[in-house]
Amino acid sequence: MLPNVPEGAPVLTAAAMRAAEDRAIAAGSSVAALMECAGTGVAEWVHRLAAGSEVLILCGPGNNGGDGYVAARVLASRGVPVRVAALGEPKTAAAAQARAAWSGPVEAFPGGLADGDTAPILVDAVFGTGLTRAVDDAVADAIRLLAGRARLSIAVDLPSGAETDSGGDFGAGKLANFDGTLALGALKPAHVLQPAARHCGAVRVIDIGLGSLDAVLRTSPRPQIAAPGPESHKYTRGMVAVVGGPMHGASELAARAAYRAGAGYVLLLTGGLPHPPHAIVRQRWSPDALADDRIGAVVIGPGLGRDDRAREKLEAALASDRPLVIDGDALHLLDGRLRGRDAPTILTPHAGEFAALFGAGTGSKIMQAQDAARKSGAVVVVKGADTVIAAPGGRVQVAAPTSAWLSVAGTGDVLAGTIGALLAQHVPPFDAASAGIWLHGAAARMIDRCFLADELADALPEALERAR
């Protein structure tokens, strides 16, 4: 089948995509030439996957439909049995030209197709990035029915009804599920943001002749993490202090993950933990506990609690000049306390914590994360099925989709410890967050089943090997 969402790839909004197309046209291309390139690319992938089976291509009235007509013509020229069904007449010159070049019959869609009259391979080329409204119920329902009955369903650029920039659903819950999506020219936010991303299936980017693309937003790349050299010792590999509280299991998980992610020394600052994990140094908390200059990063929040004692610990951590990873309970205690802090800081809220910390925002998850990073002066990691990483200067990434088994207690503690280990090794904050999320996701994919957070931490060394 198609590969997964590519790593380190540019992600373009609808406006950025139009600008890239305009630049290509100004350089000597044309809308028709770009459409020919896109449709041919779609045909090549469908031909590879169809294995001679009949293909039904649904064409819309815009340029997405034009891509479908080109794909139909190319497939037919290669001997693939093709049917075309159209939602009305083409409304752009390039799409009209593409339809005129298609010599086969055109069925009406949705009314001209008998109920469930699909083919083994379905291609949705009805609506793409130009869509700005809800899809008619009859059209959305028909696409869902046909996609559900096909052996293989493929969307051209986007599933029809997806909101390009926000990853939302114009169809109010009626997006069809596709096995794969052929992204034209570049990924779009809807390929990586929920809920649209889960309807895309596997995603492949097709080159349509736009040349090199410069984008603020990218998917997270595979990190390059160097192995320790012969001169390394425990402090050069990074010393991480995990500030715990009454919920010992969470802070222990963070400490364990920091070790498994490559830290050379992990200090667990808490009280009452009778049996600390092997090799993790336990020390009771004191106001000067973070004064050790060898501490390269502090992780605070997992198991911290929310009482006055927890507030005192957070105040001490914020007042220190140590790089911080702030998670869990500590996020609920921040209340504007980041103002004036100059040392590197990474916040790792899930959606509920993010809303409590920054309020109900507007715009896409990406825009909200960027705004939060700018206001807080911290790198902000908004966790979820579509984790977004944003830096105060505007840099932003979206992590590739990973295992749904991560939705279990303790995995956030593991992530905090993982990022802390990288931060302690002097990896820049944004890159530490990005690499930590990649390792966290890779470890989950390697387990590939229901797991405990402890098992996730123990899978980190193998994930590290994949990042060498």
pLDDT in the model for residue 272: 62
Domain boundary among 152, 184, 217: 217
Q: With H, G, I as helix, E, B as strand and everything else as coil, classify residue 312.
A: helix
pLDDT in the model for residue 115: 59
All residues at 6 or more sequence positions from 303 whose CB lies less than 8 Å from its CB, including other chains? 244, 245, 246, 247, 248, 249, 250, 251, 252, 254, 270, 328, 329, 413
Mean pLDDT of 244-250: 90
Least confident of 10-14, 50-54, 162-166: 50-54
Q: Are residue 313 and residue 196 in the same domain, yes or no? A: no
Q: Are residue 200 and residue 258 in the same domain, yes or no? A: no
Mean pLDDT of 134-140: 93
For residue 361, the one-letter residue type is G
The answer to whether residue 276 scores a pLDDT higher than 60 is no
Percent of the chain with pLDDT over 90: 78
Binding residues for AMP, as ranges, are: 383-387, 412
pLDDT, one tens digit per residue, over 319-342 is: 999 999 999 999 999 988 887 889
- Most confident region among 110-114, 155-159, 456-460 by mean pLDDT: 155-159
Q: Are residue 206 and residue 245 in the same domain, yes or no? A: no
Reading the block at residue 209, the tokens are 């002749």
Buried b (16+ CB within 10 A) or exposed e, 314-347: bebbbebebbbbbbbbbbbbbeebbeebeebbbb
pLDDT in the model for residue 283: 84
Residue 9 falls inside a structural domain: no
pLDDT in the model for residue 317: 96
The answer to whether residue 303 scores a pLDDT higher than 90 is yes
Domain boundary among 164, 185, 217: 217
Tell me the C-alpha distance between 202 and 199, whole Å: 9
For residue 8, the one-letter residue type is G
Q: What CATH number corresponds to the domain at position 71?
A: 3.40.50.10260
Q: Are residue 130 and residue 255 in the same domain, yes or no? A: no
Q: What CATH number corresponds to the domain at position 355?
A: 3.40.1190.20
Count structural domains, the chain.
2
Q: Are residue 60 and residue 97 in the same domain, yes or no? A: yes
Percent of the chain with pLDDT over 70: 96
Residue 300 falls inside a structural domain: yes
Binding residues for (6S)-NADPHX, as ranges, are: 63-67, 128-134, 157, 250, 303, 350, 413
pLDDT in the model for residue 1: 46
Mean pLDDT of 409-419: 96
Domain boundary among 187, 217, 247: 217
Binding residues, as ranges, are: 63-67, 124, 128-134, 157, 160, 250, 303, 350, 383-387, 412-413
Least confident of 13-27, 116-130, 225-239, 273-287: 273-287
Binding residues for K(+), as ranges, are: 64, 124, 160
Residue 231 falls inside a structural domain: no
Q: Are residue 75 and residue 195 in the same domain, yes or no? A: yes
- What is the helix (H) or strand (E) element at residue 49, kind and residue range? helix 31-50
Mean pLDDT of 14-33: 96
All residues at 6 or more sequence positions from 275 whose CB lies less than 8 Å from its CB, including other chains? none
Residue 325 falls inside a structural domain: yes
The answer to whether residue 460 scores a pLDDT higher than 50 is yes
Q: Are residue 350 and residue 450 in the same domain, yes or no? A: yes
pLDDT in the model for residue 274: 58
Residue 425 falls inside a structural domain: yes
Helices (H), 341-452: 351-358, 365-376, 411-424, 429-447
Buried b (16+ CB within 10 A) or exposed e, 122-132: bbbbbbbbebe
Q: Are residue 25 and residue 115 in the same domain, yes or no? A: yes
pLDDT in the model for residue 3: 52
Q: Are residue 162 and residue 35 in the same domain, yes or no? A: yes
Q: Are residue 180 and residue 274 in the same domain, yes or no? A: no
Residue 270 falls inside a structural domain: yes
pLDDT in the model for residue 287: 83
Mean pLDDT of 415-426: 97
pLDDT in the model for residue 278: 64
The answer to whether residue 216 scores a pLDDT higher than 90 is no
Mean pLDDT of 202-213: 93
pLDDT, one tens digit per residue, over 100-113 is: 999 999 999 998 77
Q: Are residue 294 and residue 210 in the same domain, yes or no? A: no
Mean pLDDT of 224-252: 87
pLDDT, one tens digit per residue, over 331-370 is: 999 988 887 889 999 999 999 999 999 998 888 999 999 9
Mean pLDDT of 418-430: 97
The answer to whether residue 2 scores a pLDDT higher than 60 is no
Please provide the average confidence, as pLDDT, over all residues in the chain. Answer: 92
What is the residue range of 359's domain? 239-466
Residue 262 falls inside a structural domain: yes
Q: Are residue 119 and residue 246 in the same domain, yes or no? A: no
Residue 251 falls inside a structural domain: yes
Q: What are phi and psi of 187, to 5 degrees?
A: -65, 155
